[in-house]
Each structure stands twice: as structure tokens, then as C-alpha cells.
Structure 1
Amino acid sequence: MVTLTEHLFTQVNAVLAEWNPIGVPDGPAQDEYQPYVAIVVETWNRSRDVEAALVWVYTQPLGYDINPAFSRATRRFASQLNQLLQAQEGA
């Protein structure tokens, strides 16, 4: 199980800001996805894969439809987050 520390929050938030599926400008993107950091970590703790959480963020609270470009980018960022969170389990 991964515990959401301040340091981990910052790391996950940075990946979400880089993922930035709705194209928020760089500065605001640092804050835009903060509400979803805990959801990503909770999803990891339940299923060891965060892709479903990213899809949920994009389609539910943000209200967008899935498209091929989103799917490709999301798989890449989900993999990055999965690796980050897996490393936290051993720490």
C-alpha cells in the first residue's frame, strides 16, 4: 500500500500536469489536476494500475469523450505513474 505523502503528492501532480489532457497552459496545469492526485493513489492501492483513474478524470469531472490521441497519451502517463507508485511500495 502506498501512503500519500507531501513528496509523493508533488510527484504525482507533476505527472498529471505533464499529462494535461485538456491543454491547460503550463502554469495553471500545476494546479488543475491536484484534486485528482488522491484518486490516482487510491486507484493504485486497489488495482495496481491507474489508467482507469485517468480515464475517469477525463470523462467524468472534466466531461470529455475518449479519442485515440487521448488513449495513447493516457497509456504512456499511466505507465509512468504506475512505475512511480510501484517504486513507493518498496520505499
Structure 2
Amino acid sequence: MKNIFEHINDILSNWDPLDVGEDLAQDEYQKYIPSIVKRLNNKRDLALYLECILTKELNTGYNKDNDKHRKELDRIIHEMLSF
């Protein structure tokens, strides 16, 4: 059975917002997992943190006003909260 850290890592690796590829993605986003886990009890805080990662840390071009971006982030948050 997976623990929460493995679950979140799998979600981040499958999402792979930097498009580094499956092998690299398993390690690429691990540093964010502890902070994500701390925010799992507050959906809004989790969303803000993920937006911050996407815009300030990873510089992915994420735009919260873009429906496609917002829906993708909502899907990721839903997956994280479903553990």
C-alpha cells in the first residue's frame, strides 16, 4: 500500500508540468511533496501553493485565468485529495 508521499509523487510525475519525461519526473518534483502534504487539509491553500510552484518555481507559463490551466490544476488537486 502506498503512503501519501508516494501517492503525491505519482500524481506529480504523471502530471509532469515541466515535461521532463517519466523517468526524470519521479525525482524532479519530490522537493515539493512535504509542503503539499502539509496543505492537504486546506484546498484553497493547496491551490495557491501549486500555482506558486507553477509560476515562480517552475516558470511553466501557468495562468489561473486560463480555463484549460485551471481545469488541469483542479484535476490535480482532486487527485491529491482523494488519497
Question: How would you bin the TM-score normalised by the shorter chain?
Answer: 0.7 to 0.9
Deviation at 1:36, TM superposition (A): 0.5
Which of 60-69 and 12-21 deviates more?
A: 60-69
Q: Which deviations, in whole Å up to 9, do the C-alpha atoms of 1:31-61 show, x marking residues without a partner? A: 111001011111224x2x1222221111111
Contact 2:55 2:62 in 1 (8 A): yes
| Identity score, percent | 26
The amino acid across from 1:64 in the alignment is T
Distance 2:38 2:78 in 1: 16
Which residue matches 2:79? Answer: 80
Gaps (5+ residues) in structure 2? none
1:63 counterpart = 2:59: yes
Query: Any runs of at least 4 consecutive aligned residues in structure 1 with deviations exceeding 4 A, and if so which?
Result: none
The amino acid across from 2:75 in the alignment is R
The amino acid across from 1:32 in the alignment is E
Gaps (5+ residues) in structure 1? 1-5, 85-91
Contact 2:40 2:80 in 1 (8 A): no
Distance 2:47 2:59 in 1: 17
State the TM-score, normalized to the length of structure 1.
Answer: 0.72
State the TM-score, normalized to the length of structure 2.
Answer: 0.78
Equivalent pairs, count: 77
Which residue matches 1:33? Answer: 29
Which residue matches 2:18? Answer: 22
**SS at the partner of 2:7?**
helix
Deviation at 1:13, TM superposition (A): 0.5
Cα RMSD between the aligned structures?
Answer: 1.7
